[in-house]
Amino acid sequence: MFDADLKDIQGNSVSLKKEIQEKDKLYVLSFWATWCAPCLSELESINDVYQDWKKELNVEVVAISTDDSRTISRVKPLINGKDWDFTVFLDTNNDLKRKLGFQSVPYLIIVKNGEIIYTQNGYVPNSETLLLEKMKKL
């Protein structure tokens, strides 16, 4: 199981491993940045269907910002202006991004029982429908 020390939106340290350890639960980790329009579109689309997902599956969405020191100050105001119903963490040093080996956002992974079981690079409108179908099979 991979781990990383992240920050929550209040600046408190959190261990990703501890946050995503419930047995047989699907965790959708969506990596994004404030300057990334496709990322924001993806998160808005996921938020629109998140309650439906939770009715059908044991799933939790975690949005992980990859904003660096130049743009991190934009995260909290952006989050406060959204009605997102999921947890937001900050990977300001990109430690987790480096561990996972991806280069660009949006990047999405699904984790179950500590293992990455699906990855998606980039965002295509309406892909949340395909994502739900994929999760039902996992």
pLDDT tens string 66-101:
999 999 999 999 999 999 999 999 999 999 999 999
Task: Determine if the pTM surpasses 0.85.
Answer: yes
What's the rounded Cα separation, in Å, for the pair 34 and 71? 7
Domain ranges in the chain are 5-136
At 14-34, the pLDDT tens digits run 999 999 999 999 999 999 999
Report strand pairing: 26-32 vs 59-65.
parallel
SS (H, E, C) 91-121: CCCCHHHHHHCCCCCCEEEEEECCEEEEEEE
**How many other CB atoms are there within 10 angstroms of residue 108's CB atom?**
25
CATH architecture of the domain with range 5-136: 3-Layer(aba) Sandwich (3.40)
